[in-house]
Amino acid sequence: MPEIVGKTLIGAVAAGFIISACGPAPRIGLSLDQTRLNDGIYEGQYKAGPNSAEVRVTIEDQKVLDIEIIKHNAWRGRKADPIIPKRIIEEQSTAVDAVSGATNSSHVIMNAVHKAVEKAAVTQSP
């Protein structure tokens, strides 16, 4: 009997970890201060739970001009792939509305773009 209880307890703990790992990714993005962006091509990555994204962002004339999703690992949520980059470019913000039914994927893509844009930020002289 103790063996069954032990296995049940281990199973419950494992299930708890799996469920908590599937929670939605936080959204870390914001509107872009275009006066602080260096033109160029930058890559960013973000992982949350089972989802991860790697993106390549092109900045030209201090604006996000293009976003290429290099890799997007997701159980579901691929429908966010064409929509989120378009919204980010249109709004010049890495905090845009998520795609319904693909919230975690949307946030992971936004956050990967945000990480790339952070690399483009001009550092201020002291």
11 contact partners, CB below 8 Å, separation of at least 6: none
Would you state the pLDDT for residue 14? 47
User: Is residue 99 one of the residues assigned to a domain?
Assistant: yes
55-87 pLDDT, tens per residue?
Answer: 999 999 999 999 999 999 998 889 999 999 999
Is 17 part of any domain?
yes
- Token pair listed for 15: 């299930």
Q: Is residue 76 part of a domain?
A: yes
125: in domain: no
- Residue 126, in any domain of the structure: no
- Cross-strand pairs, 69: 55
In a domain, residue 71? The reply is yes
Q: What is the pLDDT of residue 20?
A: 44
Domain count, the chain: 1
**Residue 114, in any domain of the structure:** yes
Residue 44: strand, helix, or coil? strand
Q: Rounded to an integer, what distance in angstroms lies between the CA atom of residue 79 and that of residue 3?
A: 45
Q: What's the pTM?
A: 0.76
**pLDDT given for residue 125 in this prediction:** 44
Query: Which range marks the domain in which residue 52 is found?
Result: 2-120
Among the listed ranges 3-7, 39-43, 94-98, which one has the minimum average pLDDT value?
3-7
Per the document, the length of the chain is: 126
Amino acid letter, 125: S
Decide if 81 is inside a domain.
yes
Question: Residue 116's domain is classified under what CATH number?
Answer: 3.90.1010.20
Average pLDDT over residues 26-44: 82
Strand order from edge to edge, sheet including 40-48: 40-48, 51-60, 63-73
The predicted pLDDT at position 115 comes to 96
7 — pLDDT class (breaks 50, 70, 90)? low
